[in-house]
Amino acid sequence: MSEPLVKARNVHKNFGHVEVLKGIDLDVHAGQVVCLLGPSGSGKTTFLRCINSLERIDAGRIWVDGDLVGLAERDGRLHRLTDKEIARQRRDIGMVFQRFNLFPHMSALENVVEAPVKVRGVSRADARRRATELLERVGLADRAQNYPAQLSGGQQQRVAIARALAMQPKLMLFDEPTSALDPELVGEVLAVMRELAADGTTMVVVTHEVAFARDVADQVVFMDGGVVVERGAPADVIGNPREERTRAFLARML
């Protein structure tokens, strides 16, 4: 099999004296969907943020598409990347947060147009064409001119997904994308994510939506207390968990 698109080895992260990640390994191959499940506080979000340099790891290595995250080898030694270099790495990784973080003073369309124009130097006309297609893809063609405050949480999150996709990322990271939504709005966001998965988008998803993970994930990773307790196909990890901690968690969720 080819090199994974995301490869993490022995990733450690501390906040002060608290060790939040205690040696995480992960392989995500191109086109795969990996769901990170586990109790609150187990380190899932922190790990996701490490992949995207929103947190700096204390030990271990992460590669995205063959490039070390946050580090570069020069003169036979590893150096921290500059802020500018980190920003360049992050361009190729889309991230969707629990809170949608749309620009409130911009329409849905303008939110999606902004980054390709400002960061990639795409012409505004091209960016608008592509943004229109993306809004269509997330089912919001008729909402292009609305401002975030005029949209439901589910619609805002779909705009946020379109905005991330506008940068044509190699990888999409989702950090509990439905947990801030009213229950009746969760389905429309998951439906968009299911379509992305079906289209071959490489995705790492932190979620409490066990049914989504069961149906969509190629690999489920169950974390607890900063370690991976169990990983594998959803039919195994969710359908027939080996570890007591996984069973206890799933019993609470289902």
Binding stretches for ligand ADP (CB under 6 A)? 15, 20, 38, 40-46, 206
Distance CA 210, CA 175 (A): 14
Nearer to ligand ADP, 11 or 117 (CB): 11
**Phi and psi torsions of 226, nearest 5°:** 80, 10
Write down the least CB distance from residue 86 to ligand ADP, Å.
Answer: 18
Give the contacts of 129 (CB within 8 A, at least 6 positions apart): none
Distance CA 133, CA 141 (A): 8
- Token pair, residue 21, equals 């990640």
Nearer to ligand ADP, 100 or 222 (CB): 222
Distance CA 79, CA 72 (A): 5
Write down the least CB distance from residue 52 to ligand ADP, Å.
Answer: 13
Nearer to ligand ADP, 172 or 223 (CB): 223
Give the contacts of 198 (CB within 8 A, at least 6 positions apart): none
Nearer to ligand ADP, 43 or 70 (CB): 43
Write down the least CB distance from residue 46 to ligand ADP, Å.
Answer: 3
Write down the least CB distance from residue 192 to ligand ADP, Å.
Answer: 22
Write down the least CB distance from residue 48 to ligand ADP, Å.
Answer: 8
Nearer to ligand ADP, 21 or 117 (CB): 21
Distance CA 166, CA 146 (A): 18
Write down the least CB distance from residue 120 to ligand ADP, Å.
Answer: 30
Q: Would you call 121 exposed, middle or buried from its count of C-beta atoms within 10 A (0-12, 13-18, 19+)?
A: exposed
Nearer to ligand ADP, 17 or 74 (CB): 17
Distance CA 187, CA 189 (A): 5
Task: Of 20, 46, 56, give the one whose Cα is nearest residue 173.
Answer: 46
Query: Do β-strands 171-175 and 203-206 pair in parallel, antiparallel, or remain unpaired?
Result: parallel
